Structure 1
Amino acid sequence: MKKISELLETAAGQAAPVLAGIDDDRLADPTPCTEYDVRALVNHLFQVVVNFRALAAREEADFGEVPEFVEGDWRARFGEEAAKLVAAWAAPGADEGTAGAMGLPARTVGNMVLGDLTVHAWDLARATGQEFVPDEAVLAEIGPGLAAMAPMAREAKVFGEPCPVPDGAGPFEQMLALTGRDPGWRPPRT
């Protein structure tokens, strides 16, 4: 079994080029994550990365109001923040015991940020016309975790209702549908 930090390094390495490929003129575009446009989703993903770094270090995390991260050289800063996230989860003991205010197992908490990095990278890629295919080891780790968390996530309004998928849909498409996303989502034509 791979360490969460190794999987996060892979996922962050796949998410960073997606963020780097977002043109400023696409920041107001819609995303498959219906409550967010591109700018809001980038800000949310930054908040996730910063807060889950704190959770790895057993510090308090603030998921309240989302700060504005999309300013200055935010694309490079995302890579820097993601590297800090990976380092925090690579620290001895970070993936052991419990982490976070809910007292969840640390690996479960690590899976949560791994899922966000992967799913939101797809959201952003799809919204901005980029390709995104997650790493198989990352998908193998988050698939069962997201399936187990889905009922609680729906109750908390973090996931939407499952989206139907056609027969023969692959594991990633099934996972996206489980979170309430339409794996076939395309940006509306302008």
Structure 2
Amino acid sequence: MTDTISNLLEAAAGRAVPVVRGITDGQLADPTPCAEYDVRTLVDHLMQVVINFQALAARKEADFSSVRHYTDGDWRSRFADETGVLVAAWAVPGAEEGTAGTMGLPARTVGHMVLGDLTVHAWDLARATGQEFTPDPVVVDELVPSLAAMAPMARKGGVFGEPVPVPDDAPGFDKVLAMTGRDPHWQPA
């Protein structure tokens, strides 16, 4: 049986929140596997994604045009709170039905997009800050086929980088990272 997006997001958030809580203020300027982001701007981006995908679950418009800064005040607790709101938004009956967002994508595809961001960016942040990160295996099993299906569109839109070669027998999460353009063995310089 296919798991619901809200259950998958809850599992992903359970792994992402401790990573965000583990980031020190002294690490905010550190580089990440996303060359265009340092830790601070990646946290800002991830928070914006979490908030905007709450709106998309409710069939409201999301604003990705401006970049807000979230890394002030108690941003670690706010991230935990906002991921809880995200899970609840996708648990509302009908959230996975029909289309969501201005691109007219199936709602479940939109849910997979935020699931991918939450999981992959948690890995990015963990790698950048020297933390351990192991995604939930159920989430990985869901992401492998869903991100593979999205990859051509995501690359064309500049959301994914070019795929990184990995062996056929690589673990599922290494395949997820590689298809998004990340080297699964990336370490800070």
TM-score range, shorter chain: over 0.9
Letter in 1 for 2:107: A
* Paired position in structure 2 for 1:80: 81
* Paired position in structure 2 for 1:143: 144
* Paired position in structure 2 for 1:7: 8
Letter in 1 for 2:162: E
Structure 2 runs not aligned, ≥5 long: none
Q: Which region of structure 1 is more displaced relative to structure 2, 164-173 or 48-57?
A: 164-173
Letter in 1 for 2:9: L
* Paired position in structure 1 for 2:102: 101
Distance 2:170 2:4 in 1: 28
Pairwise CA distance, 1:121: 0.2
Distance 1:117 1:5 in 2: 13
Secondary structure of residue in 2 paired with 1:58: coil
1:90–1:167: structure 2 CA closer, same or farther, 3 Å change rule?
closer
* Paired position in structure 2 for 1:163: 164
* Paired position in structure 2 for 1:112: 113
* Paired position in structure 1 for 2:28: 27
Distance 2:176 2:79 in 1: 25
Distance 2:4 2:58 in 1: 16
Structure 1 runs not aligned, ≥5 long: none
CA deviations over 1:98-157 (Å, ceiling 9, x no partner): 111111111000000000000000000000000111111111111111101111111111
* Paired position in structure 2 for 1:42: 43
Once the two structures are aligned, what percentage of the paired residues are identical?
69
* Paired position in structure 1 for 2:56: 55
Pairwise CA distance, 1:34: 1.1
Pairwise CA distance, 1:166: 4.1
CA RMSD of aligned residues (A): 0.8
Q: How many residue pairs are counted as aligned between the two chains?
A: 188
Letter in 2 for 1:115: G
1:122 aligns with 2:123: yes
Q: Which region of structure 1 is more displaced relative to structure 2, 26-35 or 168-177?
A: 168-177
**TM-score normalised by L of structure 1:** 0.97
Letter in 2 for 1:42: V
Pairwise CA distance, 1:168: 3.5
Letter in 2 for 1:62: D
Letter in 1 for 2:95: A
Distance 1:155 1:126 in 2: 26
Letter in 2 for 1:134: P
